[in-house]
């Protein structure tokens, strides 16, 4: 196939119904970051091209890869039909789709890690599947079964395996989406859903500790809202707050609970922990905090390492008295918090060698990359 050639592929293999989203995929030529175009690879192609891109300069940014996975739940059906891999490319959407008009959509995020043994592993993908199902239930959407979800992730990772960075250089970030793609004019659930998973190699989110400001005017989540699911509607409403925080030199903002404005909840896309002595505390999952899989895993790893874990409300003032703070999420793994600033008052924490967060990070990433034996059955080796 020549480079830059545009080919159209049907979104689904079965014929499209009349009046239903006429979705086609286009394989677009690209050469965004000086990478080789994808057109040269075959599905599950065994080309291990280590000079595919400059692995040392990989950041947490998007690099297109070869394939994506698409699966559909058509109007009148409750289950997703057999999905398939297709070339990565733009998608066509009905202007009246539920996702474009009313934000009926969910996202997920997980990684494929290449270990020193050159094997590729996923970390607890069934947890992402369950979280997508919970979100779908809340958003009145149909969702893939856990088996369909996990299978799609394995296929997406394997089809793009030449994009899984070498050990220590990063990982292949996989982004599943569940979208209301059927046309709907009135405010109501979409008649049709599309599941899609694409992938991008990513490096470290950024280096060094996080420096937070505390946001006390904009709330990320409200009781009874969607803060507890990975709804695509949870992110752009806080862009203004985080853009302002970043303009002042902070890495991100910590959001407070909307009910009282007194307790810390989490940051834009990561959960928060504080450490005092042998006790590690984190806000509880009560609908306004995203139940992070990294968070959940840290709780288990920490008690396994002998720490005491508390899931409880953490008043903002408590940040003055803790030894350490750190954040967790698939994208960042575990990151130490260097400082938190609130109304001009800056509190600093210890980071680096010998900290609890460093120990937890080493253990967790060790399990994810196969360096530490996985006694919990968390890791799914796919090759
Ligand atoms: C995704 C996300 C997290 C982290 O969840 P993981 O499963 O650990 O990646 C935390 N907070 C928010 C708001 C998120 O969207």
Residues serving a catalytic function are: 230
Q: Quick one: pLDDT band at residue 39, thresholds 50, 70, 90?
A: very low
- What separation in Å is there between the alpha carbon of 287 and the centre of ligand 1? 13
Mutation test residue for ligand 1: of 132, 234, 270, the one with most atoms within 8 Å of CB: 270
Q: How many CB atoms lie within 10 A of CB 33?
A: 13
pTM value? 0.88
Cα 340 to Cα 225, 273, 347, distances in angstroms: 27, 13, 5
Bridge partner residues of 114 (DSSP): 120
Phi (first) and psi of residue 8, to 5 degrees: -105, 135
The angle formed by the CA atoms of residues 75, 79 and 80, to the nearest 5 degrees, is 85
User: Two tokens at 360?
Assistant: 């937890």
Q: Whose CA is nearest to atom 14 of ligand 1?
A: 269
User: Two tokens at 345?
Assistant: 């008052």
Q: Quick one: pLDDT band at residue 48, thresholds 50, 70, 90?
A: low
- Given CA atoms 116, 117, 121, 123 in this order, what sign does their dihedral have? negative
pLDDT in tens, 141-172: 999 999 999 999 999 999 999 999 999 999 99
Of ligand 1's listed atoms, the one at least distance from the Cα of 230 is 15
- What secondary structure does DSSP assign to 346-376, as a single string? EEE---STT-HHHHHHHHHHHHHHTSS--SS
- What separation in Å is there between the alpha carbon of 10 and the centre of ligand 1? 33
Q: Are 38 and 52 in contact (CB under 8 A)?
A: no
- What separation in Å is there between the alpha carbon of 232 and the centre of ligand 1? 12
The mean pLDDT of 4-32, rounded to a whole number, is 32
- What residue ranges in 131-266 does DSSP mark as E strands? 171-180, 193-202, 210-215, 252-256, 264-266
pLDDT at residue 8 in the model: 30
Of ligand 1's listed atoms, the one at least distance from the Cα of 266 is 11
Of ligand 1's listed atoms, the one at least distance from the Cα of 227 is 13
pLDDT at residue 59 in the model: 86
Q: Whose CA is nearest to atom 5 of ligand 1?
A: 292
> Which residues approach ligand 1 with their CB closer than 6 A?
109, 230, 266, 269-271, 290, 292-295, 328-330
pLDDT in tens, 274-299: 999 999 999 999 999 999 999 999 99
Q: Whose CA is nearest to atom 10 of ligand 1?
A: 270
Q: Whose CA is nearest to atom 2 of ligand 1?
A: 269
Q: Are 113 and 120 in contact (CB under 8 A)?
A: yes
Q: Whose CA is nearest to atom 1 of ligand 1?
A: 269
């Amino acid at each position: 196939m020549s480079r830059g050639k545009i080919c159209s592929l049907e979104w689904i293999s079965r014929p499209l119904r009349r009046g239903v989203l006429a979705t086609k995929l286009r394989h677009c030529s690209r050469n965004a970051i000086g990478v080789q175009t994808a057109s040269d690879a075959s599905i599950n192609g065994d080309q291990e091209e280590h000079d595919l891109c400059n692995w040392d300069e990989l950041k947490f940014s998007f690099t297109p890869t070869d394939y994506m996975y698409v699966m559909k739940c058509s109007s009148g059906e409750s289950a997703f039909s057999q999905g398939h891999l297709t070339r990565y490319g733009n998608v066509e959407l009905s202007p009246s789709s539920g996702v474009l008009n009313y934000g009926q959509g969910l996202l997920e995020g997980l990684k494929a890690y290449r270990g020193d043994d050159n094997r590729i592993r996923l970390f607890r993908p069934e947890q992402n599947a369950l979280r997508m199902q919970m979100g779908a239930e809340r958003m009145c959407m149909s969702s893939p079964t856990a088996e369909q979800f996990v299978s799609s992730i394995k296929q997406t990772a394997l089809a793009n395996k030449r994009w899984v960075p070498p050990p220590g250089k990063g990982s292949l970030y996989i982004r599943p989406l569940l979208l209301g793609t059927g046309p709907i004019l009135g405010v109501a659930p979409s008649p049709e859903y599309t599941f899609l998973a694409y992938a991008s190699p990513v490096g470290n989110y950024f280096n060094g500790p996080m420096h937070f400001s505390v946001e006390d005017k904009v709330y990320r989540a409200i009781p009874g809202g969607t803060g507890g699911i990975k709804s695509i509607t949870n992110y752009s409403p806080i862009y203004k707050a985080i853009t302002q925080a970043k303009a002042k030199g902070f890495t991100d903002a910590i959001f407070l609970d909307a009910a009282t404005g007194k307790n810390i909840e989490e940051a834009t896309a990561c959960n928060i922990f504080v450490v005092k002595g042998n006790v590690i505390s984190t806000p509880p999952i009560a609908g306004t905090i995203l139940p992070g899989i990294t968070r959940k895993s840290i709780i288990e790893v920490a008690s396994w390492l002998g720490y005491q874990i508390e899931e409880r409300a953490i008043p903002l003032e408590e940040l003055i008295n803790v030894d350490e703070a750190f954040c967790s999420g698939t994208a960042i793994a575990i990151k130490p918090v260097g400082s938190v600033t609130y109304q001009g008052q800056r509190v600093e924490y210890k980071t680096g060698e010998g900290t609890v967060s460093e120990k937890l990070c080493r253990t967790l990433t060790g399990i994810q990359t196969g360096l530490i034996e996985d006694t919990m059955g968390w890791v799914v080796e796919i090759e």
